[in-house]
């Protein structure tokens, strides 16, 4: 069997990530520092018309006490355009569920995720608002030489 240095390095990295097992160890110090700054943060994005100087709210992101985005709201001229909420696994820190709402705050799409032990997405389950499963996306990772 022919192994290249790149394949051995990738295999070593995958094993290391699988052994570590915790979300905190999967994050780099830079990512941890970035999350620390976002704890309990709400970011509002405003647009301003260059001529009339009129301002309107465009986007709002809300972060939890661990610095993870838990809600994103996008606005249009008539109000809320869409809203997305995120639920995380306490052990891994990965997104377990994502729910998208329409302009009337009614669910339109529900996504649930499964993760590989190395921190990559394994599957995405797509549900209708009534809870009925309508598709499954499987992620395959292929490393080229």
Query: Starting at the edge strand that comes first in sequence, how are the strands of the sheet with 107-115 ordered?
Result: 42-48, 55-63, 69-76, 79-88, 95-101, 107-115, 121-127, 133-138
What's this model's pTM, rounded to 2 decimal places? Answer: 0.74
How far CA 132 is from CA of 44, 108, 111, 127, in Å, comes to 34, 12, 11, 5
- The domains of the chain, with CATH numbers, are 5-138 (2.40.128.720)
The runs of H, that is alpha helices, within 21-144 are 23-26, 29-37
Q: Which of 6-20, 104-118, 126-140 has the lowest mean pLDDT?
A: 6-20
- Give per-residue pLDDT as tens, 100-121: 999 999 999 999 999 999 889 9
Q: What is the mean pLDDT of residues 93-97?
A: 94
Q: Residue 93 has what DSSP assignment?
A: -
Look at 123 and 23; give whichever has higher pLDDT. Answer: 123
Nearest to 38 by CA among 46, 48, 27: 27
> What is the length of the chain?
145
Q: Is the pLDDT of residue 35 over 50?
A: yes
Instruction: Round to whole Å and give the CA distance between 67 and 137.
Output: 28
Q: Which two tokens stand for residue 31?
A: 């990512």
Per-residue pLDDT band at 26 (split at 50, 70, 90):
low
Percent of the chain residues past pLDDT 90, beyond the cut: 60
């Amino acid at each position: 069997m022919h192994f290249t240095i790149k394949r051995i390095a990738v295999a070593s990295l995958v094993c290391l990530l699988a052994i570590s097992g915790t979300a905190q160890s999967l994050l780099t110090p830079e990512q941890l520092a970035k999350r620390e700054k976002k704890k309990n943060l709400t970011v509002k994005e405003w647009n301003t018309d260059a001529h009339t100087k009129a301002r309107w709210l465009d986007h709002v992101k809300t972060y939890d006490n661990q610095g993870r985005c838990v809600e994103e709201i996008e606005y249009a001229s008539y109000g809320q355009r869409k809203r997305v909420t995120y639920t995380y696994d306490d052990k891994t820190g990965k997104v377990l569920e994502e729910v998208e709402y329409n302009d009337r705050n009614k669910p339109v799409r529900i996504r649930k995720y499964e993760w590989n032990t190395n921190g990559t997405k394994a599957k995405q389950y797509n549900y209708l608002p009534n809870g009925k499963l309508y598709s499954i996306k499987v992620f395959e990772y292929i490393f080229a030489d």
